Chain A
Amino acid sequence: MRLLFITFSLFFTLISAQAAEKPLKIGISQEFETLNPLIKQMMATTYIYGFVNRNLVTMNEKGEYIPMIAESIPDFENGQAKFITENGTKKIKANWKIKEEAKWGDGTPVTAYDVKLAWSTALLDTVSVGEKKTYSQVERIEIDPKNPKHFSFVYEEAMWNYYQLGSFYLLPAHLEKKVVKEHGEKVEGYAKNTLYTKDPTNPGLYNGPYLIDELKLGSHLILKPNPHFYGEKPNIKTIIIKLIQNTGTLEANLRSGSIDMVSVLGMSFDQALSFEKKVNLMNLPFNVNYKPSLVYEHIDLNMENELLQDIKVRRALVHAIDRKKLTLALFEGKQQMAYHNVAPLDPWYTDDPKKIRHYKPSKRKARKLLEKAGWKLKDDGFRYKDGKRLEFTIMTTAGNKTRELIQAFIQNEWKSVGIKLNIKNEPARVFFSQTVLKGEYPHMALFAWISAPESVPRSSLHSSSIPTESNAFSGQNTGKWNNKQVDKIIDELEFEFDSEERKNMVAKLLKIYTDEVPVIPLYYRSDVSITPEGLKNYVLTGHQYPNSNFAEQWTWETK
């Protein structure tokens, strides 16, 4: 009996070992750049970065912040965060501790000096950091010289989201400090000389579960386990990430076995839907995974336009579209209809009809509202007021099949209540860099925003974010919605420490948003990925922090 048990155990161990040795080849269709965390800008780089590096905190698939390289998240309850007053200004001091066992890939311990180097480098005017506020919110860092695993952040303002540091990266001081010192003062001097560019496979640059074994920009990279990783040892021994930009070729590679899976940065939603049909029809050994994400597809209305200034017209526009039917027809119900700008993954989400206004699809209501607004139906099937036809122009990215189908759907819906909709599309580059950026569309712009859970919508809804020449068209309230109540809520929201009260404040904002209809919500996009049947513990996150942050948990199923 014992012999039989030993034989079974050995057999099982051998099979498991073989499975772990099998590399995982991931296909992505988006370009990646050099992996310096401070200057990276591409989504694909963030995805790859998740395999090789860990930050203080990240967000899990439920949208909650969790500690990564930090021992815990300092808060007021555990006494690690407290209010302080300096020169009459209320601030927050938070004590952080890096995990004792956390090390860089060359065995050097991760310390507060790595945090401080990243912070001081990001603040240099010569370094092209995208969102500088992530770093500049920290006024100073205090390090305990006797125990450099301990440090405190003193934040310049007392804001409740002080711990949301998922994009606050670390730099290995033992390698990068010298580079910053030598080249940091020259414009882009650091970017040009960082070891992430000059020696990207140096293990000392990474502290995550994997190290970079080979990197070819524009082509692929190979990842191998980091022997010094502080956490659970990765199950899969080799991960290969291949860049294949043409999604047709990406699918061919998947089916021919050149790659095992397609990440969230691979196929578009409609391609994944079509591939899922093939999987079912031909019994292919893949799973198509969907996860509702924070990407909000909507139509921005130009609130400065005379026709759209009438709230009855705006409400009629929403009533006239059957958005549920739209999501069923185009996405087989796998992308959820949107009520407003906050996605279901966000703790601030609500669809409670007592808190927000719902617009049931009703052509009758739409017609009634338009009649009330003075728009009378004529023989040609369209509505007129003072000799002027009720007519709008909608713009979006030319060549985007899904958006063009949505336009056609809406055009048909509005025609049935007497509204003429003209379609004028532009190449994505012109549309985003000119038309949307400067708010130059005459009536409507169809596009998407990506948000983050509990993200204060200052840049997209506050009146100070209306793009104008004076702010170099850098605001993103492109519909030019100017509502004093909303401005007040946003101004107060950043400083409200009671999470329940914040929820109430956001509900108030959403009530105004759905009452006023400055935007026509369409649907929340879903993230999609295709994985082989044998891959387990693979969970999509749906937000900006990719699931590669949990790659050490992925495993091949042993049969």
Chain B
Amino acid sequence: MFQYIIKRLMQSLLTLLLLSFVCYFVLTLMPGDPVDMMAAGNPNITSEDMQRLKSLYGLDQPAYKRYLNWMGTLLSGDLGFSRTYKIPVSDILGPRILNTFYLSVFALVLSLLVAVPLGVYAAVHKGKLTDYLLNLFAFAGISIPSFWLALILILMFAVKAGLLPAGGTYSVGQDLEGFALVWDRIKYLILPVLSLSFMQIGTFERYTRGAMLEILNSDYIRTARSKGLEEKKVLFKHAFRNALIPLITVVAISFSYIFSGAIITETVFAYQGVGKSVYDSIKSNDFNVAMVSFMISMIMVFMMSLLADIFYAVVDPRIKY
């Protein structure tokens, strides 16, 4: 197992290196650079200003040279400097990664807590009214646009009822401590978490139901039932454990997706997360922020996929590395 993990890590490192170059190169292909964009709305920028700034930022150099410069800085432990905010990238991304982590973990936990029991229940009651109702709920979750749901939640809970804040990460200008501080953070998380979870619940519920149905129709379940095993044991010891394998894959992929893909939720709720930073940095050609964000997302995908592989072995003793 240890050798397998080392091998996977080495492979991931190589892939990461190659992907980083591809991402950097693709970024350079985008039309315009930060200086062009600055000049686009300002007729007072002179041609001398533009040429001077391009040379200062190194934008007049070929893409491979700029990539090597960036990689060199990264390897020296410096994440670089944001052209948009004029501060080090670590200062921007550090707190935001933590915010997104809270949002993603709460959303994932809530999704699993709701979706997995519902999926099992729907599988056991296949073809009955509750199964149809749960299907309807799941498809609604998958198909409702997240920005629309987010706005509806804001309208209901913030504008009409006035129970929760309409947006933000925490109450600004209040020196809160202890429980009040924790409650304040939770208040700002409730609506984004609900919004983000809704779609995930639908997806996880469908996967759990599908996996459970497949297992429940297998021979060894029939054998377990014919042996006279208690239904609870059949369901949770024999069926559910085996149904976990496809679910682990989906959860692992979803988690890495949630981490970089909560852009819409973060934007609508003005939540200070890393997803929004990725989008903003690409839009404004802030290469250093964009590249570090890409690297984090890629590392998350590799790590979660490795974790999934390890969990396969844990839940299914037949799997060995």
Contact = CB atoms under 8 A, between A and B. Distances in A.
A483 B105 CA distance: 64
A534 interface: no
Contacts of B178: none
A188 B54 CA distance: 13
Nearest to B283: A429
B270 A128 contact: no
A126 B214 CA distance: 65
Interface string B92-133: 100010000000000000000000000000000000000000
Contact of A125 (B39, B56, B268, B270): B56
A459 B43 contact: yes
Interface in B40-75: 40-54, 56-57
Given A130-B45, A240-B173, A252 B151 contact: yes
B32 A248 contact: no
Contact of B92 (A218, A242, A246): A218
A128 B56 contact: yes
A128 B86 CA distance: 11
B27 to A, nearest CB: 12
A240 B172 contact: yes
A242 B36 contact: no
A284 B168 CA distance: 23
A437 interface: yes
A249 B154 contact: yes
Contacts of B298: none
Contacts of A219: 168-169, 172, 270, 272
A316 B38 CA distance: 35
A432 B53 contact: no
Interface stretch (B6-14, B138-146, B158-166, B242-250): B158-166
Contacts of B277: 218
B315 interface: no
A270 B8 CA distance: 54
A332 B57 CA distance: 45
B18 interface: no
Contact of B38 (A41, A434, A449): A41
Contact of B88 (A192, A242, A246): A192
Contacts of B38: 41, 130
A486 interface: no
A131 B270 contact: no
A450 to B, nearest CB: 6
Given A25-B172, A130-B49, A432-B36, 6 more contacts: A130-B42, A130-B53, A191-B86, A256-B166, A258-B166, A429-B37
B265 to A, nearest CB: 11
B223 interface: no
A128 B236 CA distance: 64
B317 interface: no
Nearest to A36: B86
Given A249-B268, A252-B154, A474 B51 contact: yes
Interface in A210-236: 214, 216-220, 222
A507 interface: no
B47 A429 contact: no
A433 B56 contact: no
A34 B45 contact: no
A214 B267 CA distance: 22
Nearest to A239: B173
19 contacts: A33-B84, A34-B86, A36-B86, A125-B56, A130-B49, A216-B272, A222-B172, A244-B168, A249-B154, A252-B154, A253-B167, A256-B162, A258-B166, A432-B36, A433-B33, A433-B37, A433-B40, A434-B32, A472-B47
Of residues A33, A217, A475, which shows the largest number of chain B Cβ atoms within 10 Å of its Cβ? Answer: A217
A474 B268 CA distance: 36
By Cβ-Cβ distance, the 9 closest A-B pairs, closest first, are A433-B32, A474-B47, A432-B40, A434-B31, A34-B86, A474-B50, A244-B270, A252-B166, A433-B36
Contacts of A474: 39, 45-47, 49-51
Nearest to A131: B44
Contact of A131 (B33, B45, B280): B45
Contacts of B87: 34, 197, 217
A217 B36 CA distance: 24
B167 A249 contact: yes
Contacts of B183: none
Interface string A462-502: 00010000011011100000000000000000000000000
Nearest to A437: B36
B5 interface: no
B107 to A, nearest CB: 18
**Looking at chain A, what size class is its interface with the partner chain?**
35 or more
A197 B33 CA distance: 24
Interface in A426-479: 429-430, 432-434, 436-437, 448-452, 455, 457, 459-460, 465, 471-472, 474-476
Contacts of A448: 41
A346 interface: no
Contacts of B84: 31, 33
Contacts of A192: 81, 88
B169 A246 contact: no
Given A252-B158, A252-B166, A256-B158, A437 B270 contact: no
A557 to B, nearest CB: 22
Contact of A258 (B167, B169, B276): B167
Contacts of A465: 47
B276 to A, nearest CB: 8
B126 to A, nearest CB: 40
Interface string A19-56: 00001010000010110100111000000000000000
B269 interface: yes
Contacts of A256: 154, 158-159, 162, 165-166
Of residues B86, B88, B173, B280, which shows the largest number of chain A Cβ atoms within 10 Å of its Cβ? Answer: B86
Nearest to B269: A249
B85 interface: yes
Interface string A127-145: 0101111000000000000
A459 B86 contact: no
B32 A243 contact: no
A84 interface: no
Given A33-B85, A34-B86, A132 B52 contact: yes
A201 interface: no
Interface in B216-247: none
A187 interface: yes
Contacts of A252: 151, 154-155, 158-159, 166-167
A132 B46 CA distance: 9
B165 to A, nearest CB: 6
Interface in A399-450: 429-430, 432-434, 436-437, 448-450
Nearest to B160: A256
Contacts of B26: none
A255 interface: yes
Interface string B260-286: 000000011110100011001001000
A449 B39 CA distance: 11
Contact of A214 (B43, B159, B173): B173
Contacts of B36: 432-433, 437
A222 B170 CA distance: 14
Contact of B166 (A39, A191, A249): A249
B1 interface: no
B30 interface: yes
A459 B47 CA distance: 9
A430 B31 contact: yes
A5 to B, nearest CB: 37
Given A23-B173, A130-B49, A191-B81, A243 B270 contact: yes
A450 B42 contact: yes
A279 B308 CA distance: 53
